[in-house]
Amino acid sequence: MSESRDFCPRCGDPVPERPEPLPGMPRERDDVLCDSCYFEDFDLVDAPDEVQVRVCAQCGAIHRGNRWVDVGARDYTDIAIEEVSNSLGVHLNAEEVRWGVEPEQVDENNIRMHCHFSGVVRGTPLEESIVVPVSIARETCQRCGRIAGGYFASLVQVRADDRTPTTEEAETAIEIAESYIAEREEKGDRDAFISSIKRTPNGPNIKISTNKMGSGVAKQIRERFGGTIEEHPTLVTEDGDGNEVYRVTFVARLPRYTAGDVIDPEDGDGPVLVRSNRGRLKGTRLTSGDPYESEFEEGERPEAEDLGSVEDAEETTVVTVEDEHAVQVLDPETYEAKTIPRPDYFDPDAAMVPVLKSQSGLHILPEEVVDDEDEE
């Protein structure tokens, strides 16, 4: 025989010669069958018998693979279409594939998904329609279950050194925690949540989902206010593998003195207006206007006498400027003229100046109190 022919290995019919497969691509066993044997058990579409969509009734997350994922606020029908579409497969040999799905709502939790396919295989146009039943199972995802159950792995306590945090400090610390967690949530971290915020007379208690995030929140609070962080781990339980599980309390302790406080470091050079207490305590001498910086490291505090704060300041009349070191003002309580130190921030043209009267005497305060770095 001079003519070389191929034969169908199943029925023995001659088949037209097929082009050799591309180099490196094996010839599929089915590729050598004749058309009628090939189509005998050919499925254009591979589809599951049914699809179950597990959705969280609280947050709308859906269960995919072995985890819950956020899909945003969307219609369950849209989600069903997407889940069915992802589960459908079209035969690799099909060309010019067109397809569409059409949902038919049966009841609140059941959708019949009508799927239509067309394509060309071996030059033959094919069409296939199938129906995939979809059921919606409303559940509670792990995250919502944990939030509802008050689960937390770390407790951030906002406190202050030898005083209680001010309302402003407490609210700012809470905002820091909320935005820190919100940022992680937005990035898709489903482990990020705050399970409760309690405003106690000693300062806020914030319960947070993981130790790592509790630590992160405490650090951000220290970043903003200065002060220290104490960590107290408590053994809560052992997990299924016998590993010890700790819950950690982070105490973010705000510094004793903050911007606006007036203290006497008792070094003989007079009172200091505190301007910043992140890292080392920094301020301004009320006697000279010179800058002051504590020798103490972060978290420690100098032994100092608390003289009050800028909120205790009163405006008083300048009587006369005596020389470059002294100025005469009226004592705001007794109205006696008093000679007091003249700091370099004193404006000699001023008729009125803010002064603070304390146990170390009368001192002129600067108009600008807080360093820029302490402002948002």
Binding site for Zn ion (CB under 5 A): 8, 10-11, 34, 37, 56, 58-59, 61, 141, 144
Question: Which residue intervals of the chain are DSSP H helices?
Answer: 35-40, 76-87, 142-148, 167-186, 211-225
Amino acid letter, residue 282: K
Cβ atoms within 10 Å of 170's Cβ, excluding its own: 19
Instruction: Give the nearer residue to Zn ion in terms of CB position, either 47 or 141.
Output: 141
* Strand order, beta sheet including 305-309: 291-293, 282-285, 272-276, 261-264, 305-309
Distance CA 175, CA 178 (A): 5
Angle between helices 167-186 and 211-225 (to 10 degrees): 130
Provide the minimum distance between the beta carbon of 191 and Zn ion in the complex, in angstroms, as a whole number.
13
Provide the minimum distance between the beta carbon of 11 and Zn ion in the complex, in angstroms, as a whole number.
3
Instruction: Give the nearer residue to Zn ion in terms of CB position, either 10 or 247.
Output: 10
Instruction: Give the nearer residue to Zn ion in terms of CB position, either 38 or 117.
Output: 38
Provide the minimum distance between the beta carbon of 71 and Zn ion in the complex, in angstroms, as a whole number.
11
Provide the minimum distance between the beta carbon of 61 and Zn ion in the complex, in angstroms, as a whole number.
5
* Strand, coil or helix: 172: helix
Instruction: Give the nearer residue to Zn ion in terms of CB position, either 10 or 116.
Output: 10
Provide the minimum distance between the beta carbon of 150 and Zn ion in the complex, in angstroms, as a whole number.
15
Instruction: Give the nearer residue to Zn ion in terms of CB position, either 34 or 356.
Output: 34
Provide the minimum distance between the beta carbon of 36 and Zn ion in the complex, in angstroms, as a whole number.
6
Burial code (b: 16+ CB inside 10 Å, e: under 16) for 207-222 equals: bbbbbebbbbbbebbb
Instruction: Give the nearer residue to Zn ion in terms of CB position, either 68 or 346.
Output: 68
Instruction: Give the nearer residue to Zn ion in terms of CB position, either 6 or 244.
Output: 6
Provide the minimum distance between the beta carbon of 9 and Zn ion in the complex, in angstroms, as a whole number.
8
Provide the minimum distance between the beta carbon of 307 and Zn ion in the complex, in angstroms, as a whole number.
53
Contact 158, 219 (CB under 8 A): no
119's tokens? 């394509």
175 CA to centre of own chain: 12
Instruction: Give the nearer residue to Zn ion in terms of CB position, either 61 or 286.
Output: 61
Instruction: Give the nearer residue to Zn ion in terms of CB position, either 144 or 252.
Output: 144
Q: For strands 124-139 and 110-121, give the pairing.
A: antiparallel
Residue 83: HSE in the Cβ half-sphere, 13 Å Cα cutoff: 28
215's tokens? 């630590």
Cα-Cα-Cα-Cα torsion 311, 314, 320, 321, nearest 10 degrees, comes to 0
Instruction: DSSP for 304-346, please give it.
Output: -EEEEEGGG-EEEEEEEEEETTEEEEE-TTT--EEEEE--TT-
Provide the minimum distance between the beta carbon of 13 and Zn ion in the complex, in angstroms, as a whole number.
5
